[in-house]
Amino acid sequence: MKYKESGAVQTSALVAVIMTFLFIGSLVFGLSMLVGKSDLQKNLDKKVQAQVGTAVKQAESKKDTEFAAKEKSPVKTYTGPTVYGTVSFDYPKTFSGYVDESLSGAGAVNAYFHPGVVPKDERTVTYALRFQVLQSTYDAQLKSYDSAIKSGKAASVPFRAANVSGVLGVRISGEIETGKQGSVILLPLRDKTIKIWTENKDYLADFDTYVVPSLRFVP
């Protein structure tokens, strides 16, 4: 009887030892999983924070770009005298304009456009946008650029206004005047010439985006 009791005690002790080892093993395994999960969570948090930071920067950049675009839109529109073809075109609203329609000198219409206040010194200022209706023929105006084109300082290509496709003119880009880099468009208007240009390459994007596509007139 004592033998049986002793055997039962030994069996119980063995079971207790095994259960203890199993418990310790489970505890160690659980702790290692918890540590691993904590490290994984930290790495995941870092990745999420990096992605959020990138997304915020992209959103801010897009917002700045959209704001800059909105600052130039809606545009203003210039419309010239009916007697001189009712020339019209759009330009950024951030530009101010000064227009002389006094019909004196070589220009029937002489206009200046520039961001902020329009400067008045043609000798030193490179204007964002200029416009003239000249009281001289298209051929005469085109000839005045022969030297710059032949020397390679400027290049010319045929040009048609999208809204007046029946009139063929020319676009000249490069050194359009001594010390002034830009782009000028010449178009015949009966016995006169439409001349519209930017004399500062920093405003070429505005010229091509707003002015050129909107240009229209009555031939």
For 136-162, how does the pLDDT look when each residue is reduced to its tens digit (9 = 90+)?
999 999 999 999 999 999 999 999 999
Model's pTM, two decimal places? 0.66
**41, 46, 52, 54 alpha-carbon torsion, rounded to 10°:** -150
Q: Measured on CA atoms in the order 163, 134, 172, 125, is the torsion positive or negative? A: negative
Structure tokens at 60: 């801010």
Kindly state the helix (H) or strand (E) to which residue 3 belongs, with its residue range: helix 2-71
For 21-68, how does the pLDDT look when each residue is reduced to its tens digit (9 = 90+)?
676 767 766 666 765 655 656 666 676 577 756 755 775 666 666 666
Choose the weakest-confidence range: 18-32, 100-114, 181-195.
18-32
Residue 126 has pLDDT above 90, yes or no: yes
